[in-house]
Chains A and B, each alone.
Chain A
Amino acid sequence: MFLRTVLSRLLTTLVTLFGVAVVVFVLVRVAPGNPIAMMLPPGASEDDIAQLTALYGFDKSLVEQFFIWIGGVVQGDFGTSITLRQPVADLVLSRLPATLELSFFALLIAVAIGGVAAVIGARRRGSPTEAAVDLTSGAVLSIPDFLWGLLFVLLFGVLWPVLSISGRLDPRLEFDFLTNFVAIEGLLRGRFDVAGSAFSHMLMPALSLALPLAALIAQLLKQNLKEVLIQDYTTLPRVRGFSETQVILRDAMRNAALPTLTLVGVQFTFLIGGTVIVERLFAYGGLGNMAIDAVINRDLPLIQGIVLLFAALFVAINLLVDLSYTLLNPRLRHG
């Protein structure tokens, strides 16, 4: 039973990724803009153009091109970047850690802020405090991530310059990285100056990405907590002497987290989508920033690689959400 679920899940994943591959492949080719024209100086001869077109295989039919590309992808060869002249797989994998660190740091901030706000709102339900939580989260939610980014740059980069507004790390730091997970590696290897620099560089972009999600979590989790707190099974612990806060954290939270989790999973994929613009805003060396460059330069193989990786990431996150849902809900565990 379990094996069948996993197998069917894997199969749908493959179909999804293949669909994404087809769509992105066709889209980048029907979109206006010619990568060859971008590479050649003005006034290049017909011959030069034809030669270069043949070199990159753009003279073949669309179907032929697709199967050459997908054949490589299956073997782990995603082609070569036209502008950077390096294998797409290497480029993309070198940037992935930066985006993962940023996204998960943002998720952590969102869950922390949203969770605390939800608990406070539920604890003081019906009071002005709850109204304040509602009002604040509503206001925060109505401002998109990139506007938060601009606001933070203005506040903490220009008016009161306490945080660095670009890059991932202080360039003066000397450290031999084994991976591209600079914050995590700094932490694990005890180089807290490195980790500190990485986190302070991530703080503003992560906060920009996190705030709308935090507001959403605050609203949703508070509502779910309130619904759980009128259930019968929260009466018993109250009679037994547990305080309202204890009842919320020990008895209500896991029940309320379940319906919240599904939505947070979906919203987290949106958050990762948001990294594209926010990374650009803070000149943060992640996938999103690279994606924009790739689009500007019509670097078709690179665009395809990045989009495929994003798609794989989204699928993985959805899988993770489903797994944790089963883990949190004992009623789903056997069946």
Chain B
Amino acid sequence: MTMSSTLNIQNLTVSLRSGLPLLRQVNLTLEPGEVRALVGESGAGKSMIGKAVLGTLPPATRVTRGQIFLRGQALDHLNAAQRRHCVAQSAALIPQDPLTALNPVRRIAPQITDPLTRIHGWSAERAQTRALELLDRVEIRDPARVMRSYPHELSGGMRQRILIAAAFAPSPPLIVADEPTTALDVTVQKQILKLIRELQKEVGTAVLFVTHDMGVVAKISQKVSVLFQGRVMEDSTTEAIFSNPTHPYTRALIAATPSYADPARSFSPVPPELIAQMKSKIAQEEIL
């Protein structure tokens, strides 16, 4: 861990008010320009990490332990307004569902340029130019017309591309991509992934990529954190995870990925014995 890390999470524990932990002592670092995938089943806490960083945890949850450093700045030392400012300057979000993430009664233009002019202090012209440039970059035809449109006039794929453009517009050091392709159909998924990867390289942004799809992990990330019940089971490079997974759960997740080459082996579920074993191990550690 160095102060130059874009994101550094130490011992982060997030719990429900009832005390049930959703994240258990999560450690994670993200170096500048690096892509780290967070994988795991539904409910493993992968989205929760992104929410803890961005400060959008649900009201019923709270951080009970640990610290988050965003570009060396400890977030828990800041008051609400400072934290909001710090996150806005350093991070952006590509949301999961493009159909609900845009305000239905506002045109696209202000939804991209508002943060640039009002939070980052850009001039209106600069924000407008940047927005058009990025819309063009995410392969939207006739960006000027799209800027004047309302969300309901655009397809899901287009809306996700707009959201990607909006996230990259201020060239943030960190982007949290919260399952950005799950709500899209398969043909669009590929283009979206390709765009995120390309823009990430061009802008030099570090990306925390939340997904449950090992196929996506292989395509986009350099590092992987495998989560189970709010705990990091394995933290390694993507290469190592696929060539030599050390944890049986990681092996099971890889095996559960559909494969065109070997259809017979596709969709083999994670063995229930393994899950039961891991649960009891976590429960034991909780007591100790």
Contacts and interface: CB of A to CB of B under 8 A. Distances in A.
Interface of A: 126, 231-243, 250-251, 254-255, 258, 328-331
A324 B201 CA distance: 46
Contacts of A258: 105
Contact of B104 (A235, A240, A243, A330): A330
Query: SS class of chain A's interface: helix, strand, loop or mixed?
Result: helix
B147 interface: no
Query: What are the 6 closest A-B residue pairs judged by CB atoms, nearest first?
Result: A241-B88, A232-B100, A240-B115, A241-B119, A330-B150, A233-B103
Given A233-B104, A255-B104, A330-B150, 15 more contacts: A231-B100, A233-B103, A235-B56, A238-B55, A238-B84, A239-B54, A239-B88, A239-B91, A239-B93, A241-B88, A243-B84, A254-B105, A254-B106, A255-B103, A331-B152
Nearest to A233: B103
Nearest to B84: A241
A328 B105 contact: yes
A231 B104 CA distance: 11
Given A126-B59, A232-B100, A240 B119 contact: yes
B61 interface: no
A236 B103 CA distance: 9
Contacts of A329: 105
B103 to A, nearest CB: 4
14 contacts: A235-B56, A236-B95, A236-B102, A237-B114, A237-B115, A239-B88, A240-B88, A240-B115, A241-B89, A241-B119, A242-B115, A243-B81, A255-B105, A331-B152
Nearest to B115: A240
Contacts of A235: 56, 93, 95, 101
Nearest to B103: A233
B190 interface: no
A125 to B, nearest CB: 9
B252 interface: no
B150 A241 contact: no
Contacts of B150: 330-331
B19 to A, nearest CB: 20
Contact of A232 (B55, B81, B97, B111): B97
Contacts of A255: 103-105
Contacts of B103: 233-234, 251, 255
Interface residues of B, number: 30
Contacts of A330: 104-105, 150, 152
B87 to A, nearest CB: 7
Given A233-B100, A233-B101, A251-B106, A242 B91 contact: no
Contacts of A328: 105
Contacts of B101: 232-233, 235-236
A116 to B, nearest CB: 21
B92 interface: yes
Given A126-B59, A251-B103, A240 B97 contact: no
Nearest to B118: A242
A328 B103 CA distance: 13
B105 A242 contact: no
Contacts of B91: 239
Contacts of A243: 81, 84
A241 B95 CA distance: 16
Given A236-B93, A330-B150, A331-B150, A241 B87 contact: yes
Contacts of A238: 55-56, 84
B85 interface: yes
B158 to A, nearest CB: 16
Nearest to A250: B114
Contacts of B59: 126
Contact of A239 (B87, B97, B100, B111): B87
Contacts of A239: 54-56, 87-88, 91-93
A250 B95 CA distance: 20
A261 to B, nearest CB: 12
Interface string B71-94: 000000000010011011101110
A241 B102 contact: no
Q: Among A235, A238, A240, find the residue whose CB has the most chain B CB atoms closer than 10 A.
A: A240
Contacts of B105: 254-255, 258, 328-330
Contacts of A126: 59
A236 B54 CA distance: 10
B111 to A, nearest CB: 8
A328 B105 CA distance: 7
A60 to B, nearest CB: 57
A116 B103 CA distance: 22
Interface string B40-56: 00000000000000111
Nearest to A257: B105
A307 B50 CA distance: 62
A254 B95 CA distance: 22
A231 B103 CA distance: 9
Interface string B110-121: 010011001100
Nearest to A253: B105
Nearest to B97: A232
- In this complex, the member of A233, A235, A237, A251 whose beta carbon has the largest number of chain B beta carbons within 10 angstroms is A233
